[in-house]
Amino acid sequence: MTTHPDDVLRSVFVTGLKNVHGVEHQALALIDRQLDHLTHYAEVADMLRKHRVETEQQIARVEEILDGLGESQSWLKDAALTVSGNLAAIAHVFAPDEILKNSFANFAFENFEAASYTSLIALADAGSFTSAVPLLRTSLTEEQAMAAWLDSNTAAITLQYVARRAAGETASH
C-alpha cells in the first residue's frame, strides 16, 4: 500500500473542498436561472427547488469541514463559478429545446459533483479527516439521487417536449 505525506493529502483535500464549494455555488446559479425560465415542466421545477435546498446544505457542510480545518472558502472561485453558472444557463435560454439541453447539462453536472465528493471521501479516509466523511457522504448521496432522477426522467421530459411542440405550444421551458 502506498503512503502519502500528510501535508500533501491535506493540501489536496483542502483544495478539493474549496473547488467543490465553488462548484456548489455554480450549481445554485444554474438552478436559479433555470427556475426563472421553467414554466411548463412542473415536476422538473419541483425537483430543482428541492435540490436547491440540498445544494445550500451541501455548501454549509463544506464550510463546516473547512472551518474544522482552520481554512476558509475561496471567494474568488465561488464568484468565478457563480458567473460561469449564470452564463451557462443563459446560453440555453435562446435554444428552442432549452429544457432538453438543461436536462442533459444537469445530468452531467450532477455526476461531476458526485465524482468530486467521491474523490473527497477517498482523501478524507486516506488523510484521517474522518469527521468529514459523514458530511461528504450525505452530499454524495444527494448528488447521486438527483443524477438518478434526471436519468430516469430524461425520456419523459423529451417526450413531453415533443408533445408540446407538436401541439404548437411553447415547449422550450
pLDDT single digits (tens) 16-53: 999 999 999 999 999 998 998 888 999 999 999 999 99
CA–CA separation, 15 and 107 (whole Å): 24
Classify each residue of 97-125 as buried b or exposed e, where b means 16 or more C-beta atoms within 10 Å of its C-beta: bbbbbbbbbbbebbbebbebbebbbebbe
The model's pLDDT over 65-84, given as tens digits with 9 standing for 90+, comes to 999 999 987 666 555 555 55
Task: Check whether 54 has a pLDDT greater than 80.
Answer: yes
Top CATH class of 6-166 equals mainly alpha
Amino acid at residue number 10: R
**Contact status, residue 59 vs residue 21, Cβ threshold 8 Å:** yes
Among residues 84, 51, 69, 80, the alpha carbon closest in space to that of 153 is found at 51
Q: What is the pLDDT of residue 1?
A: 47
Task: Check whether 157 has a pLDDT greater than 90.
Answer: yes
Q: Sign (positive/negative) of CA torsion 24, 27, 29, 31?
A: negative
